[in-house]
Structure 1
Amino acid sequence: MSNSYKLYELLSEAKANNPTVVLEIIKKFEPKIKKSLRQTSVQNREDLRQELVTKFIEVLYSYDININK
């Protein structure tokens, strides 16, 4: 199974209000989030991380999964 197909399935489940799946998706993107945070000062990283995760969740729920079908 390809990664994009698995992500599509996870996104479908997340949009069905499954918070466990939302956490799983966030964990998949955690390395990218951490890498991006290295570009900012240490004292701001945790606040920025929280903002990024909040925005990430908003995008997950607002993304139209039927756009590419």
Structure 2
Amino acid sequence: MSKKASSMIPMPTSGGSVLPKLIGGAVLLALLVVVVKHPADAAHWAKAVIDAGGEVIDGLASFLRQVG
């Protein structure tokens, strides 16, 4: 068994385009700035996203119950 095949954790590759890396870095930087400058707003937004995710899961569960 080779070393590459035995690794269960996918490692990031160093290849690829620069543009997606720049966009990802800009998004992370923007999130960090929002959290540092406006922590209460960031907390409200995070709670809203989590609540919306819960509603999506509840909707899917309801749909699957009605189908099955």
Instruction: Please say whether Structure 1 and Structure 2 have the same fold, judged by a TM-score greater than 0.5.
Output: no
> TM-score, structure 2 length as denominator?
0.29
> TM-score, structure 1 length as denominator?
0.29
